Each structure stands twice: as structure tokens, then as C-alpha cells.
Amino acid sequence: MAETQHVLNRSNEEESPGQETSRSSRRRFKASNMSFEEMVEMVNILKKADYNGKYGPYLNPNVRNAKIMTKVVKSLRRNFGVRRSKEQLRKRWSDLKLKEQDQYRRIKKVLLKSDVQVVVPKSSDFTSDSAQRMIQEIMFCSQDLDFIKEKKQGD
């Protein structure tokens, strides 16, 4: 039994150096769910920068997209204090557009209604209760804005 364990350990050690060197050169970030606000921030940047290339042929589109995704990574780090890799964000963008179309529509609706950048405070005492209060305040403000718009159109 001890001999087979030793043989297994040696075979794992022989294979792992090659794998370790390839992984050590790349940063790994823990995959976790993105909050709605983070997704809004990401979609906002990608849409403004024309990530999909709808508005014209671009020279070196892959380089351009990599630069745009770098902006998203930096923005999420600065505004939300989370570290995401470009690969994670590309996957999330793809999932939103292809698999989670309802969520994508909700995000686009939020972006259409407001020109204000959505930023969540980095406070450690940010709880679900305070988030709920913030959501209610936003909803009330949105209703007030709708009322003002209707009143303005009536004039």
C-alpha cells in the first residue's frame, strides 16, 4: 500500500511542474456571482465603447476589445472593490446576451432611464436592509422624475 502511494505521488509530481508554470504566469480570480449593479456598470461601459463593433469596421478589433475589457476590470475594482478577470467578464457578457436575455433587458432598461452612473459604496456596513432602503429611494426618485416629465409634457 505504501509503495503504490509513493508511486502515485511521484507520478503526480512529474506531471505538475509543467501545469504549475502555466498557471503561475496567469492571474486567477475567484469566480463569484456579479451583483446587478456590477452588471449594469459592465454593460454601460461595453455599450458606450461599442464592444460588439456595431458602428464601424475597426482596425485590430481584438486589441480594441481587450482595452475596453481592461477599462471594465479597472472600473469594477475602483467602484465595487471586486477583482474580476477579463475572461470572467467576457463569459458574463456572453451569458447575458445569449442565455440571460431577461436580465440583459432589465439592465438596458435601467441604463435608458438614467444617465447617472450606478455606484455602490464600498462601506463594510452595507447590508441587505440598507440595500432595500436604497432601492426604495431610487424607486421613489424614479416615480418623481416620471411625474415631472409628465407635468412638463402637459405644459
Q: Please check whether residue 94 lies inside any domain of the structure.
A: yes
Which residue in the block uniquely carries the three cell numbers 475567484?
Answer: 30
Q: Is the pLDDT of residue 33 over 90?
A: no
State residue 140's pLDDT score. 79
Which pLDDT band, with edges at 50, 70 and 90, does 17 fall under?
A: very low
State residue 18's pLDDT score. 45
Domain count, the chain: 1
Q: Please check whether residue 72 lies inside any domain of the structure.
A: yes
Q: Tell me the per-residue pLDDT of 40-90, one tens digit each, with 9 for 90 and over.
A: 999 999 989 989 888 878 888 889 999 999 999 999 999 988 889 999 999
Q: Which domain holds residue 111?
A: 35-119
Q: Please check whether residue 25 lies inside any domain of the structure.
A: no
Cα 155 to Cα 7: distance, rounded to the nearest angstrom: 85
Q: Please check whether residue 19 lies inside any domain of the structure.
A: no
| 32 vs 13: which has the higher pLDDT | 32
Q: Please check whether residue 23 lies inside any domain of the structure.
A: no
